[in-house]
Amino acid sequence: MTVKQNIKVLIIEDEEPARVLIKHYLSGYSEIEVVGECADGYSGLTSIRELSPDLVFLDIQMPKLTGFELLEVLEKKPEIIFTTAYDEFAIKAFDLNAVDYLLKPYSQERFDAALRKGIGRIRSETREDNGRDALTGYRSEGSPPINRIVVRKGNGISFIPVDTIQYIEAEDDYVMIWYDDGKALKQQTMKFYESNLPKDEFVRIHRSAIVRIDQIRRIEPYGKDTYRAILKNEKRLPVSRSGYKNLKEKTA
Amino acid sequence: MIHPIFGNRSRLTVWWLIWFFVGLSQSQILFFAANCSLTASLIDGSLSALFYGIIAMAIWFPVIQLSSGEAKTGRFILNHLILSVISVAIWLFGVKWITMSLLQDYSLYEDCWTDSFYYRLGAGLFIYALVILTYYLFINIEKINRKNIKEANLERMLKETELMLLRSQINPHFLFNSLNSISSLTITNPEKAREMVIKLSDFMRYALSQKEDRIVPLKTELENMKLYLEIEKTRFGEKLVLEESIEEATLEAKVPNMILQPLYENAIKHGVYESVEKVVIVIKINMHGNGLIIRIINDFNPENVPVRGTGTGLQNVRRRIDLFYNKEAYLTTKKENSKFIAELYIPLTG
């Protein structure tokens, strides 16, 4: 007979009463061990790295780092159960391959169902790797443009304000973000940035390039039907035919 | 559309007065220019006026009928040609026939009628044109009036609707998070849970009130904001610190209800939501000239790159005060060191 290992649970949630409730709902499960509680996204990230929990209850709207941003910079993802007050994020959470999505306030029954699903996933032999590629383009249509991009920096994280981004280049499965203070590599799609950066400030000029419109110094012809953008810092970027059309529409 | 002459006593008086003079001129012309006898001239003149007065009044009905459709110009002219010929013919021969039947010796009158035929025809057509013009003028004025009234109503309705929508935009996060806190408190502290349910109910009742008078004394607004802030304090505990400095004289001033809530919500969102430290939110209210200045000041970390909000909260406040006070009120925001200051000026009203 194999002794089942305890399941390590971490609660990341900025409101105290909400944490109390989760602990209360968990109190009936002897196999669950609450290894920590965090009141903001950043300490949540640190705790996940230190404690490597099996299951995380994760709020979305939190100080310092939102639940989604936390997942963006996490290398090894535990199973996630989102807890949030409002369902504008439901589709995103689903795309992120989360175990479940609890809408506050929730009942013990609803909580139990989510928890059972989580335990099931953890106990199952074939644990899927949690969405390395699921983490793309999860923002729903019509959400306001993003204002910052979170990137890993050494052991920590840093934020790139969207206002400082000059251009973004595609590099295989990654994108290189060039901004005023340097550059940063991030696993994300061009499509994501095309649809989530402010549309009046950025333009997709090529399959492999998105550029801030006011960074472009001039456009010159380059071969048949294609062009080249020369930026203020003398950087040259390819412009495809459809990219040229996009650019003309935005600057008209 | 009601008859413009028939439906109005004073217009009816003026109408017949005009026709009286028309009749009088007709008699004079017949007597002096067409060599009719005095009796014939008087009878013909009076009858002409009476007859045409009635015909002109009746013309209103075909005119209103013709004006309601989208007639082409050619069609329009044809219609009025036919109508004018019929009206004038009825008038000409009607007057002749009745006058003749009233006079014993009508041979002289017949000559006089024939002599004045072209004059009569011209006058008839001329009067027809005048009457039609008057009617069209009236119809158009009426149309414009109706349009104006309709537009004014529509505008008022839009304004009402907009104000109502702007007022009732409570963040659903607030509501559901509060309910979740209550759910938690029922386990740990049922007394406090009940207290919070009551506070939340009182606050929601205020926020959703659909009463006509949406202008309330500042005192009432502040009492209800206290409920809101106490609920938020239950959620965030010691993290949220509140301070106030309110000039006594401002408490009776009138403000739109729920005008402070978005300002507090903004302060909490950018202060408390984004912080792990204590956040102080201060409200200062003072009289200023012919109004009052409300300042809500919160700590924030200037190094934080904020998650972009939708910005609807403050925009709604701006739109509401614009609608209420016609640009006499204003809302400004500024950042000073690590303080965010929202300043709202509201003019004093009755």
Summarised one tens digit per residue, pLDDT across range A193-247 is 988 899 889 999 999 999 999 999 988 888 888 889 999 988 999 999 888 888 8
**Cα separation of B330 and B321, whole Å?**
7
* Preferred mutation among A13, A15, A69 to probe B, highest tally of B CBs within 10 A: A15
Q: How far apart are CA A70 and CA A157, in angstroms?
A: 9
pLDDT number for residue B80: 87
Minimum distance, in Å, between the CA of residue A32 and any CA atom of chain B = 20
pLDDT at B7: 78
**Low-confidence spans in chain B with pLDDT less than 50:** none
Contacts of B305 in chain A (CB under 8 A): 147-148, 159, 161
ipTM for this model: 0.71
Whether the model clears a pTM of 0.90, i.e. scores above it, the answer is no
3-state secondary structure B88-141: HHHHHHHHHHHHHHHCCCCHHHHHHHHHCHHHHHHHHHHHHHHHHHHHHHHHHH
Q: Are strands A79-84 and A100-103 parallel, antiparallel or unpaired?
A: parallel
pLDDT tens profile A228-239: 999 998 899 999
CA distance linking residue A152 with residue A131, whole number of Å: 18
Class of domain B168-347: alpha beta
Residue A1 confidence (pLDDT): 46
The more confident residue out of B276 and A68 is A68
Which residue of chain A has the CA closest to B174? A85
pLDDT at A136 over 60: no
The domain over range A7-123 is classified in CATH as 3.40.640.10: no
Q: Which residues of chain A neighbour B307 with C-beta distances below 8 Å?
A: 66, 147-148
**DSSP H stretches of helix in B34-72:** 38-68
Residue range A78-132, pLDDT digits in tens: 999 999 887 666 666 566 778 888 999 999 999 999 999 999 999 885 555 544 4
CB of A196 closer than 8 Å to CB of A228? no
CA distance A45 to A71: 8
Q: Which residues of A touch B275 (CB under 8 A)?
A: 63
Note the pLDDT of residue A137: 44
Domain residue ranges in chain B: 9-164, 168-347
| CATH, domain A158-251, list 2.40.50.1020, 3.40.50.970, 3.40.50.300, 2.30.30.100 | 2.40.50.1020
Residues B237, B280 contacting (CB under 8 angstroms)? no
pLDDT digits (tens, 9 = 90+) for A29-45: 999 999 999 988 889 99
Closest C-alpha to A85, from A101, A96, A63: A101
**pLDDT for A205:** 92
Give residue A51's pLDDT.
94
DSSP A192-234: HHHHHS-TTTEEEEETTEEEEGGGEEEEEE-STT-EEEEETTS
With a CB cutoff of 8 Å and minimum separation 6, the contacts of B65 are: none
Please report, for chain A, the start and end positions of each structural domain, with discontinuous segments joined by +.
7-123, 158-251
Q: Does A16 touch chain B (CB under 8 A)?
A: yes
Cβ of A14 within 8 Å of Cβ of B273? The answer is yes
Residues 6+ apart with CB under 8 A from A249: none
Is the pLDDT at A134 greater than 50, yes or no? no
Does B307 touch chain A if contact means CB atoms closer than 8 Å?
yes
Count interface pairs A-B at CB distance under 8 A: 81
Closest C-alpha to B305, from A242, A249, A149: A149
